[in-house]
Chains A and B, each alone.
Chain A
Amino acid sequence: MSEINLVQAVNLALARAMADDEKVLVLGQDIGINGGVFRATDGLLKRFGEDRVRDTPLAEAMIGGISIGLALQGFRPVAEIQFSGFIYPCIDQLANHASRFRTRTRGRLSCPMVLRAPCSGGTKALEHHSESNEAMFTNIPGLRVVIPSSPKMAYGLLLAAIRDPDPVVFLEPTRLYRAVSEEVVDDGTALPLDRCFVRREGTDLTLIAWGAMVREALESAQQLEARGVSAEVIDVATLKPLDEATLVASVQKTGRCVIVQEAPLSGGYGGEIAARIADGAFSSLLAPIQRVTGYDTVMPLSRLEQIYLPKAASVTTAAERAMVYA
């Protein structure tokens, strides 16, 4: 069996979902003949035709709104926003509409739609192409927010997102797109939403991350192992709704945690997680909750981008800080 990378896994999940359910439609900018600027929708137009794979004019608010209309009519639109930095015009549609129809109509109408958007930095991209804006969406009730960290996770979580009856923002870290390949079985099995994934078991400390930061956390866990520290690594994966139980149980076991996010510090989702753990695992905590995050700065252009990005080394430093508390 062949190994595929994350963007190929997205493509595989899209094709599977479209083959399984003719109500699944794909739309967005350059997703047709071009196959998406990252090739996530490559081949779909040819296989499923123009009615189901539609290039839209250049307007993100419209893409969001059209998706809502389709979803209200029982279709399952999966729209691509070319980069998460261009999703802002669409937030009106997400916050005021997609997330609210179910509540407003007491269940009469709902929006089973997915907005996929490449996100985060590390690829030396142009301005506005490297944003880690996931926390913004987590503050919208009624939305699900999902970020895969591996090909397998991308395949299973995207299938789950498409099948879910509510709107999902599905963020795909661009620097993971082609970073690693692994075997992905295309059997249509979805992963659960609302679940954090323990990616590595450990006893001394819990490293909590999502998206591209999961790799840094796993690398840090190796560095820590060499120093005799056993780190558990949890991939949050579905940020909203949050699987607090898995996180709390882990920290109850280890007594220490480091939360890693690429997004700026203030208002980041790591703050939410820290509060949940402080509450749920209070009596087990042996050290203050540590956070390793981006800075409260505008994402620098490519020449200084690496300085902004949190790295395994900083995670290890934070972990060692936590280990100092006996």
Chain B
Amino acid sequence: MIETTARPARRESAHFEIGYTRYLDPDGKLVAPLPPGLADPVRAIALYSALVRARSFDQKAVAMQRTGRLGTYASSLGQEAVAVGAASAMRPEDVFVPSFREHAGQLVRGVTPRELFLYWGGDERGNDFSGPREDLPNCVPIGSHAAHAAGVALAFRLRREPRAVVAIFGDGATSKGDVAEAFNFAGVWKLPVVFVISNNQWAISVPRRNQSAAETLAQKAIAAGIPGEQVDGNDVFAVHAAVAAALERARAGGGTSVIEAVTYRLGDHTTADDASRYRNDAEVKAHWQEEPIKRLEAYLVALGRWGKDDQERLLQETKAEIDAASAAYLATAPQALATIFDFTYANMPADLQRQKDGALASAATTPVKG
């Protein structure tokens, strides 16, 4: 029999730790000096405006869904700072690879609210957006876009371009093989990609603790040889600073990063979900104390850079913009029937053309309601 208790003294073969960064606490007080760029109040006001704009879009979208004018919608209430912080750290020529809850970032990238309404209203033209043309559309199959991000980053590397990729996905997505595989590949080749985990504590009804036994999701990076860190995902400064540093490193050839932005989903998973079935109000209420917008507003007010008038003007301008976008979306006629065929292939195959002709002919005799 082998004695199993007696083992030689072990030396440490690897060592890692995961850091957590926050600048702005939930009360809006700075707990660490801001990096130079972010200390400029003009920058802070721009970030604040982006957060407010995203939330305003969100509220409108939910209201429109409730009244039957939009499809199922995934709100980002409470976690806007993750996408805003990440997208605002990017350059236009970088590529944004979102999941499906990152409209706050898409808006920063220049996708218009009308285009977002179109997408969520069930019109593919919303994906043919006026934001950066190489940005990817939403990815609904969870986590499968992580590898696309690594592939895009490999293309940048092959062309020796000083560009980088930001991909965002949720805590749930980190359980997918796709994500581990993408980390792994990007790590091996030190690709210029920043993976942002938007950890909002829930994957529909599955809480973070049942998603993974790991203490942090950021440490999943370590296994791929990538640095991983946590930031306060409700502190837009922390997200922005971490992503900006990671992008700079990526462009300089320093490789991949994983940033776990710790946030909270204040709303239902989507408009089709009823979160009261699986999580209690007290938890949600407590997290309202930490949401990203109030703390930044408190910070700006304390700086003396934001007053009641500023707030009112911003809300009014934002509301006007979103209302106009929603009206423009509603006034957009559905696409022609033919379009369901036209983008299947670059060149219309004869076989599909026959199907299209048949569809057009039968539509002419039996009109279908859309």
Contact = CB atoms under 8 A, between A and B. Distances in A.
Interface of A: 29-30, 32-35, 37, 55, 57-59, 61-62, 85-86, 88-89, 124-129, 265-266, 295-298, 300-308, 311, 313-314, 317
Interface in B331-357: 334-335, 337, 339-341, 344, 351-352, 355-356
A128 B278 CA distance: 25
A34 B212 contact: no
Given A296-B344, A296-B355, A314-B366, 4 more contacts: A62-B175, A89-B178, A297-B352, A307-B363
B113 interface: no
Contacts, number: 122
B interface, over-half SS? loop
A296 B277 contact: no
Interface stretch (B51-59, B203-211, B294-302, B308-316): B203-211
Contacts of B203: 29, 58
B344 A57 contact: no
Contacts of A298: 340, 344
Nearest to B337: A307
Contact of A29 (B206, B335, B341): B206
Interface string B177-216: 1100000000000000000000000011110001110000
B122 A34 contact: no
A58 B339 contact: no
Given A29-B204, A297-B340, A302-B71, A58 B142 contact: yes
A260 to B, nearest CB: 15
A281 to B, nearest CB: 26
A308 B122 CA distance: 14
B335 A33 contact: no
A interface, over-half SS? loop
Nearest to A92: B177
Contacts of A62: 175, 177
B140 A59 contact: no
Interface string B99-140: 010000000000000000001011110000000000000101
A269 B360 CA distance: 25
B359 interface: yes
A284 B36 CA distance: 84
B72 A126 contact: yes
A311 B368 contact: yes
A18 B363 CA distance: 48
Nearest to B123: A303
7 contacts: A30-B204, A58-B142, A86-B142, A301-B119, A303-B370, A313-B366, A314-B362
B155 interface: no
B122 A302 contact: yes
Contacts of A126: 71-72, 100, 140
Contact of A128 (B123, B140, B337): B140
Contacts of A86: 141-142
B90 to A, nearest CB: 24
A81 to B, nearest CB: 12
A53 to B, nearest CB: 13
B76 to A, nearest CB: 15
A304 B339 contact: yes
A300 B124 contact: yes
Contact of A58 (B140, B172, B337, B369): B172
